[in-house]
Chains A and B, each alone.
Chain A
Amino acid sequence: MDWELLLSYSFLVGLLSATIRMAAPLLLAGLGGVFTARVGIVNIAMEGTMLVGAFTAFWGAHLTGNPLWGALFGIAGGVLIGLLLGFISVTVRANQVVGGTAINIFALGITSFLMNVVFGIGVRPSAVTSFRAVPIPYLEDIPLLGPMLFNHISLVYLSLLLVPVVWYVIYRTPIGLSMRAVGEHPRAADTLGVKVGKVRYAACLVAGAFGGLAGAFLSIGQLSVFMENITAGRGYIAVAAVTFGKWNPFGVLGSALLFGAAEGFQLRLQSAGVRIPYQFLLMLPYVLTMVALAGLVGRATPPAAMGKPYAKEGGR
């Protein structure tokens, strides 16, 4: 292997910058996933949420010619899926995993269908105006750190800024306390007057918004097109990032960066023509998540009411 290449400055800069770029959508979706996980909802539907967000964002950008509107469309699409998830897991009280899987199948179908209807079967739609990098003056000139952190599209900065915000909401506000109570012991929370159903619905909607924006990141942030199944399992990686990050926003940041680094490293190596079994790098996030869950590297204990529908006393 060409070690000189790997140690060169330009390779390192490229790798770090790609890491952030790859991590940002995972981080956005992961932060959304923190909300649903904290209230005790298994959010398998994150994959479908991102997919729908990616499509509606592309559609919005196509219609308006403005990526900002595209992002708003993406959020709206994600919120719709969040609403559906809330209906299934709170109102219907169905199995969240089966419901989430159904949402994912539905999302794959509806986005591909609409894509074909709007743009024609087998037609590659022309690229839309996507987000452009916004270098931050002065800071972008810092060696290494500048190109790594301060020369990205606005969504990257937003996703990083949202980490402390989400942390504050969850750990330092009454709303956050209610959420955590609902996820740990819904009956106790109910007794204290917390509206369990409403809190869970709200978490689903917020997770939908985050997931939709993460999808927008894929279609009009990293690229400027939409392709069938553009998420390709990133929603599931986001679920893994939430788990590996122990349901904590800063933990999710860490795991998103780690997973993003694996993807970025693989991309850089491939574009540099280095032939290594990169598949094992891509496998890493999944293996690490399993190891963490098994308690081999620090115990990870999910919120106690995870996956359990809640019914008031006397309800079924």
Chain B
Amino acid sequence: MKLFKWRNLEIERRDQAVTNLFTVLAPVIAIVLSFAVGAVIIALAGANPLVAYSYLAYGAFGTPRMLAETAVRTVPLLLAGLGLALAYRCGAISIGAEGQMVMGGIFAAVVGIYLNAPAWLLLPLTILAGFAGGALWGAIPGLLKAKLGVSEIINTIMLNYIAIYLMAYLLDIPMREPPGYFPQSAPLQVGARLPVILSGTRLHAGFLLALAMAGLVYLIMFRLPLGFRIRAVGFNPHAARYAGINVERNIILAMLLSGGLAGLAGVGEVAGVHYRLLAGFSSQYGFDAIAVALLGKLHPTGVILSAAFFGALRVGANMMQRSVQVPAAVVFVIQGLAVLFVLGNEFLRRHIVRLVLPARGAGQAAGTAKGVG
């Protein structure tokens, strides 16, 4: 069926969506394309894109110290991205990682600052509290979706802002560090902090925690009945119910775990990087994590790669701005485009884009390229 024709360009709908190497590599192609568009934008702004990108790469990977910094930024993106992947696999479209991260940070800070516990117990309790904070913030929209049928999309957005204002209040009055010049809490007790694992850098034990969680999420997702049920609900809730799966329970569970993982991202920042609760500590990681999960194709291995990619962009961008005066904001353009191109790939899976060249024979279409066009 022809959909669109303009000069020599034709778009046709496929009978069946294709799956081939091209679709598997889609995220890589999307990243390459978004860098290409980014290069055009940088060039239009009057800088040399190759020089800019080489500083970007140098800033992210150039020295062991910079590499460690990239790893530090990867931690929250990975944890929150894993959580979102789990929720999306269950068909729950959560935008709530940012707020869940904030709640995780708040809970971890309260325990880490005020709880009087033996040293060996303090850190585990801080981590657990952070998980619980995020899980609570994830379970609320999960519960509302499962029990009342309310869309989780709006609710997760609302909960983001509720969490952010709750933190603003806590840092304004009850938890503000005396004498109170800055919106930040007192520092966490030493025993509640995630230890640095590479001396001379900021790389903390949260990195190992995040990798362990990636393994755990893989296990849950693909090796345990729980993950099978979650994916079944996401694939087709009606069929899942027919097969005897408790759809409501699994939605709530997936959202709860998803929130808990984002909560751990908050723990990493509060107990591993800042050692205190700090206004704006979540720094949009929770929103970027949506792109991370999608670019990682909702698979733990993919999420590790895309989280590292986004982390590298964040670190390298500063070096690029300092060295060649290309605004760091261009990495957000690249990130946004990468996701849009991944979505565009879905379009190519279902359509054929054809360049119909003037006929050499009897009006035959030449130069057909399936998928890529």
Q: Is B125 an interface residue (CB 8 A)?
A: no
Q: Is B344 an interface residue (CB 8 A)?
A: yes
Residue numbers in A under 8 Å from B337 (CB-CB): 102, 106
Q: Is B239 an interface residue (CB 8 A)?
A: no
Among B155, B158, B332, the residue within 8 A (CB) of A108 is B332
**B144 to chain A: closest residue by CB:** A294
**A89 to chain B: closest residue by CB:** B343
Known: A98-B290, A109-B333, A121-B321. A294 touches B161 (CB 8 A): no
Report the interface size for chain B: residues with CB under 8 A from the other chain: 53
Residue numbers in A under 8 Å from B235 (CB-CB): none
In the complex, what distance in Å separates the CA atom of A289 from the CA atom of B148? 15
In the complex, what distance in Å separates the CA atom of A110 from the CA atom of B330? 7
A105 and B158 contacting across the interface, CB-CB below 8 Å = no
Known: A101-B287, A279-B169. A91 touches B347 (CB 8 A): yes
| Distance in Å: Cβ of B76 to nearest Cβ of chain A | 16
**A101 to chain B: closest residue by CB:** B290
| Distance in Å: Cβ of A63 to nearest Cβ of chain B | 17
B169 and A117 contacting across the interface, CB-CB below 8 Å = no
In the complex, what distance in Å separates the CA atom of A277 from the CA atom of B172? 8
Residues 211-234 of A contacting B (Cβ, < 8 Å): 228, 233
Q: Is B115 an interface residue (CB 8 A)?
A: no
| Distance in Å: Cβ of A76 to nearest Cβ of chain B | 19
Among A97, A109, A121, A295, the residue within 8 A (CB) of B335 is A109
B154 and A283 contacting across the interface, CB-CB below 8 Å = no
Q: Is B336 an interface residue (CB 8 A)?
A: yes
| Distance in Å: Cβ of A123 to nearest Cβ of chain B | 11
Residue numbers in B under 8 Å from A282 (CB-CB): 165
| Residue-wise interface mask of A (35-56) relative to B, using a CB-CB cutoff of 8 A (1 in contact, 0 not) | 0000000101000000000000
Residue numbers of B with Cβ under 8 A of A are 1, 13-14, 16-17, 41, 45-46, 93, 95, 144, 148, 150-151, 153-155, 157-162, 165-166, 168-169, 172-173, 287-288, 290-291, 294, 321, 325, 327, 329-337, 339-340, 343-344, 346-347, 350
Residue numbers of A with Cβ under 8 A of B are 42, 44, 84, 88, 91-95, 97-99, 101-113, 115-117, 121, 228, 233, 236-237, 239-240, 243, 277, 279-280, 282-283, 286-287, 289-290, 293-295, 302, 306-307, 314-316
- Return 23 A-B CB contacts under 8 Å, by A number: A44-B95, A97-B95, A98-B294, A101-B287, A101-B290, A102-B336, A102-B339, A104-B287, A106-B336, A106-B340, A109-B329, A109-B331, A110-B41, A113-B329, A236-B157, A237-B161, A240-B157, A240-B158, A286-B159, A286-B161, A293-B144, A293-B155, A315-B1
